[in-house]
Amino acid sequence: MQNNSRLGRRRSLRLTLSMPIVVSEPQSSTQNPLERTHTLSVSRHGGLITLRSNVNWGQSLMLTNPFSRVSQECRVVYLGPEQQEKRQVGIEFLGPVNNFWNISFPSPGMRPVEANA
């Protein structure tokens, strides 16, 4: 089975959003985070974050939204090249997620509104 992101199709719209998050390993408590970082973009199904920590493709991580204090398990689905001791890491939530990012996403199939110049 091929990953949708490798085919250039996404299950939901990505939104550019810089939001603080806490990353930890699923078996540890959030009081011992792996790293505090931020998102670059988010979707209903996951997001793109930056990490200094060394993670592997397929690795499970626990993300915690510090505003809502909601935690959600995810897995690493993309590893970007290392730049300035950080790398972009794509994550996908493992199960159904109800508003982890605390924002409203457009309905599937909706197109962005274009501003008149």
Digit-coded pLDDT (tens) for 54-109 = 999 999 999 999 999 999 999 999 999 988 999 999 999 998 787 899 887 766 66
Contacts of 38 (CB under 8 A, 6+ apart): 18, 19, 20, 21, 49, 50
**What's 4-93's CATH class?**
mainly beta
Is a pLDDT exceeding 90 seen at residue 12? no
Confidence (pTM)? 0.78
Q: Where are the domains of the chain?
A: 4-93
SS3 label, residue 31: coil
Spatial distance between the Cα atoms of 42 and 28, rounded to a whole number of angstroms:
24
Handedness of CA 64, 82, 75, 61 (dihedral sign): negative
